[in-house]
Amino acid sequence: MRAGTVVPALSAFSPAPHLSARVLRSTWGTIGVGRRQTDGEKMQDRHSSYGTAEYWDKQAASFDDEPDHGLTTDRVRTSWSRRLAAWLPDKPGTVVDLGCGTGSLSVLAAEAEHNVLGVDMSPAMVERAQLKALPLDLPVRFVVGDAANPDLAAGTFDVALVRHVVWALPNPDETLRRWAALLKSDGRLIAIEGRWGSGGITATDLIAALAPLFDHIEHHPLSGDSDLWGKSVDDERYVVVATGPRRETSSK
């Protein structure tokens, strides 16, 4: 697929489990805060380990060691800031960063004057995100919650931002519908994904899943931009920007 490919509508995947939750008030309504899963509740597919808070809690301490996670150099940070500015709306709006990890992209979006809510199932990730944002006095907040099934009001956000989250979902179809339903009528989903080794999701598969849910989809390869990753990569990395959620499908 060529850079900047605009893709017409196509097909999809199937439903994600949801964690029981207590409710936490947010600027945008309520958000379900997931409890940790026990071993018996692990997702029933090859991604099961990626579906637990425990797994991501263990990754939190070293998560930002990757240049594209921690944005640890000026070159990498500037590159992500420039790219994100191109994908986000020109006017400040509301952004939900689903599976926000340590909050690096949430912070960049807030620096661009968007009002950002970051959601992640891992308390350790959220704690690091909060510490990252605390001294910056930005319009961003972070909560522990189930990004796959966020208890947020439909039609509330201008942007749903996800990076390297879709590949770890057990059954993306229902989750993508939920995310589409969170958006305003002119809202957009920004999905930064890739296919590496035995993990990830191809752009072709993700576009097929999103096509029934959105009117307009753009695909932009990112593998060739070593500034984003802090190194040269030869696997598939890309962003899909989907706009115009279809209410008859995204609200089901």
Per-residue pLDDT in tens (0 to 9) along the chain, 252 residues: 444 544 333 222 222 222 222 222 222 332 222 223 332 333 233 344 567 888 889 999 998 898 889 898 999 999 999 999 999 999 999 999 999 999 999 999 999 999 999 999 999 999 999 999 999 999 999 999 999 999 899 999 999 999 999 988 877 899 999 999 999 999 999 999 999 877 889 999 999 999 999 999 999 999 999 999 999 999 999 999 999 999 865 555
- Structural domain boundaries, residue 240: 5-37+45-250
**CA-CA distances (angstroms) from residue 200 to 42, 62, 107, 141, 194?**
19, 20, 24, 28, 5
**Structural domains counted in the chain:** 1
CATH code for the domain in which residue 146 is found: 3.40.50.150
User: What is the structure's pLDDT at 82?
Assistant: 96
Token duo for residue 140: 């961003």
DSSP character for 37? P
User: What is the structure's pLDDT at 199?
Assistant: 83
User: What is the structure's pLDDT at 16?
Assistant: 25
Beta bridge partners of 205: none
Closest CA to 12 of 124, 175, 137, 160: 175
User: For residue 228, which amino acid is it?
Assistant: L
Token duo for residue 37: 């899963």
Closest CA to 29 of 153, 191, 116, 183: 153
**CA-CA distances (angstroms) from residue 8 to 146, 207, 213?**
30, 9, 11
d(CA 56, CA 83): 26
User: What is the structure's pLDDT at 2?
Assistant: 40
Are the C-beta atoms of residues 196 and 68 closer than 8 Å to each other? no
Q: Which residue has the tokens 């993508």?
A: 176
Residue 25, SS3?
Answer: strand
d(CA 96, CA 28): 10
> For the stretch 86-117, what's the b/e string if a residue is b when 16 or more beta carbons lie within 10 angstroms of its beta carbon?
ebbbeeebbbbbbbbbbbbbbbbbbbbebbbb
Whether this model's pTM surpasses 0.85: no
Closest CA to 8 of 203, 183, 192, 214: 214
d(CA 29, CA 163): 23
